[in-house]
Amino acid sequence: MSVITAERKVNVKGLDNFRDLGGYRTEDGRTVKWGKLFRANELAALTENDKQIVQDLGIRTDIDFRSQGEVAQKPDPKIPGMTYVWDPVMKDLGNSTDITQLFKMDYASMMAMMEDGQRNMVSDPQVQAYKTMFELLKDPSNGAIVYHCTAGKDRTGLGSALILLALGVDEKTIMQDYLLSNDYRAAGNQATLKYMAPMMTTEDSKKIATSILGVESEWLQASLDEIKKQYGTYNAFFEKALGVTTQDLEELKALYLEAPGTYAPSFGDIIGHWAQKDIELLASESIVSGVNDLAFAPNRSITRAEFSTLLVRALKLPTSAASSGFQDVADGDWYAAPVSAAVKAKLITGYDNHNFKPGAPITREELSAMLVRALQASGASTTLSAESEKSALAKFKDSSSIVWARPEMAAALQSGLVNGLDGDLLSPAVPATRAQAATMLERFLQLTKKS
């Protein structure tokens, strides 16, 4: 299967928050298709060249969540082949678009107001806009769809959350997508804050302006909590409030999801990096992911919990709710299941005090030991004679600093899993970076294919 690299941000000149919803992984292991679902801010600023890009993307339906007043001020451009659908979440916003009116409030009152607004959007009558959106999503003849409001962050952010929930994406990922508006709109927001500086005369007004130009996690959380309060489950909400049945959900997944491996995320901070190829290969198989959709952070250290999770994922080990036996790994921790699976597969042992230290950076010695154990678990022979072990380590002047995993580090070197640093240094106690971990993991996968 070929790998196609996709980028989340649609590179048009006129918009700063126009992005593809593709690539997110669902809880059943599939991913959202690229090029089908787009979220945006107001389209009025699209240049002529931008409009051509929109056409080339195959977008055939434009869903506009804005009020009548917003549409009158900045109507969407007419783009050949694209059907416009006015679908207002709120038909009249009054003076709520005047940010200076909020400066009369304190910060806590503003936050409470925004949270109330988010609760209202999942209740009648405002929720009807999202019902219309799903009716359009269910019809494949509508082609690729873009939905938007003014800033592409609140009404559009909730729309994205509901779509991703319907497709089976987890809440943590959904919140990350919601908060990405703060990243994409950062430059424009800073310019606005600079312009408004004379009007922001109190600390609260500065905080209010900064928050209102972006998004806060509490706002989306208010919507999600309100859905659970009113309906108990998301599926009940979809059926009762939006008219989306269980069968509809399955059909939506068939339309907008695909098996992993077709696309690889593009992280801006790995372009030209020595580990770029390995990172992209692993990302295409949904084994590694970025710290967010824009960055992989290749030079950041990787924790013991994070690497254990990657290794379990690479080996496709089954996970369960069984306890790992470590005192510092609670059942509710995100890494509890993969750590338990790694213990069961004898990939990790932990420390003498029954702790795992999940948040500690994994050292090169620990990482080597885990990979060699994984090789053994996959049926490969890693045992070296005393002479071979001595020979493998002899070229490294710091090999005497290996604390406990001398045989494993020798085997990792002999098999090609690990290379030295700066030629003649192993640096066993040095924390491994995310790039090093990805490269060693890719080497491991290649070795298991040969064995």
Over 90: is that where the pLDDT of 133 sits? yes
Q: pLDDT tier at 259 (50, 70, 90 boundaries)? A: confident
Average pLDDT over residues 373-382: 84
Query: Cα angle vertex 251, ends 249, 255, to 5°?
Result: 115
- Report CA Rg, the chain: 25
Q: Is 144 exposed, middle or buried (0-12, 13-18, 19+ CB in 10 A)?
A: middle
Among 162-166, 286-290, 352-356, top mean pLDDT goes to 162-166
For 4, 7, 161, 365, the CA distances from 164, given in Å and listed in that order, are 22, 18, 5, 40
pLDDT at 264: 54
Residues composing the chain: 451
Structure tokens that stand for 396 in this block? 């490294």
pLDDT at 451: 57
Over 80: is that where the pLDDT of 239 sits? yes
pLDDT at 214: 93
Residues 6+ apart with CB under 8 A from 308: 335, 338, 339, 342, 347, 348, 358, 370
Residue 427 near residue 368 (C-beta atoms within 8 A)? no
Report the DSSP pairing between strands 19-20 and 31-32. unpaired
> Letter for the amino acid at 8?
R
pLDDT at 2: 32
| Structure letter (DSSP) for residue 26 | B
d(CA 285, CA 199): 50
User: What DSSP string runs through 286-322?
Assistant: TSS--SSSS---TTSB-BHHHHHHHHHHHHT----S-
User: What DSSP string runs through 108-163?
Assistant: HHHHHHHHHHHHHHTSTTTTHHHHHHHHHHT-GGG-EEEEE-SSSSSHHHHHHHHH
Structure tokens that stand for 388 in this block? 């071979």
pLDDT at 422: 72
Average pLDDT over residues 272-290: 85
Sign (positive or negative) of CA dihedral 18, 20, 21, 25: negative
pLDDT at 62: 98
pLDDT at 75: 97
pLDDT at 3: 35
Tokens 């609140």 label which residue?
Answer: 154
d(CA 312, CA 34): 27
Indicate whether this model's pTM tops 0.75: no
Average pLDDT over residues 407-435: 87
pLDDT at 226: 98
Residue 245 near residue 273 (C-beta atoms within 8 A)? no
280: closest CA among 267, 293, 295? 267
SS3 410: helix
355: closest CA among 393, 382, 329? 329
For 99, 124, 378, the CA distances from 428, given in Å and listed in that order, are 55, 60, 24
pLDDT digits (tens, 9 = 90+) for 314-340: 888 887 667 888 989 988 788 888 899
d(CA 427, CA 25): 35
pLDDT digits (tens, 9 = 90+) for 69-126: 999 999 999 999 999 999 999 988 765 556 777 878 899 999 999 999 999 999 999 9
Tokens 């690889």 label which residue?
Answer: 264
Q: pLDDT tier at 392 (50, 70, 90 boundaries)? A: confident
Over 50: is that where the pLDDT of 1 sits? no
pLDDT at 334: 82
Neighbouring CB atoms inside 10 A of 23's CB total 22
d(CA 369, CA 410): 10
pLDDT at 352: 77
Structure tokens that stand for 287 in this block? 């084994």
